[in-house]
Structure 1
C-alpha cells in the first residue's frame, strides 16, 4: 500500500513536469505555416516567408482586421489550452507531493 502511494505520487509529479514542459514549449505550426503564410501577416511563423516589399504592400493594401481577428482567436485558443495545462500541472504536483510525502512518512 505504501509503495503504491509513493509511486502513484511520483507518477503524478512526473505528469506535472510533462505538463509544465508542454506549457513552455512554443507552438510553431511549422507544417502549416508556409501554406498559410500568404493569408497572414501577424504570426512570426508566417512572416518569415514574406519579403519586406511584399509585406509593405500587404499592410498598405489589405484590411488588417480579418487577419488580426483570425490571429487573436488562434492565440486565445492556444493560451486557453496552456492555462488549463498549468492548472492541471499544479493539481498533479500538489496531489503527487502529498501522496509521496505521506508514503515516506508512513514507511
Structure 2
C-alpha cells in the first residue's frame, strides 16, 4: 500500500493526473502546464504513471514522432478522490494559513 500512496500522493503525479483528466496532452503541453517541473521529473513521473497503468502513452508516426499521454480507466478513477482532496484543500486553506502564521511566531520571552 505504501508504494501506491507514494505514487498518488506525489505532487507531480497529482498535477499530471489533473491535467490529463481534462484531455490528452503532449509532453510539451504538460511541461508548459506544470509550473516549475523539470523535463527530467516530468519524464520520470509519466513513466511511473504508465508503469502503474494510470497513463497510456501513444506514439504517432509523424516526423518527428509525436507522443500523446492520456489517462487510462484506472487513472480516470483517481480523479474523484483527487477532486475531493482539492475541494478539502480549498475549503480549509484559510484555516491552515492562519495556523501557519500563528505557529511561525517567534518564541515569547519574559
Instruction: Answer yes or no: same fold by TM over 0.5.
Output: no
Structure having the higher helix fraction is 1
User: Highest Rg: 1 or 2?
Assistant: 1
Larger proportion of strand: 2
Question: Scaled by the length of structure 2, what TM-score is found?
Answer: 0.31
Which gives a bigger RCO, structure 1 or 2 (Cα 8 Å, sep 6+)? Answer: 1
Task: Name the TM-score, length of structure 1 as normaliser.
Answer: 0.32
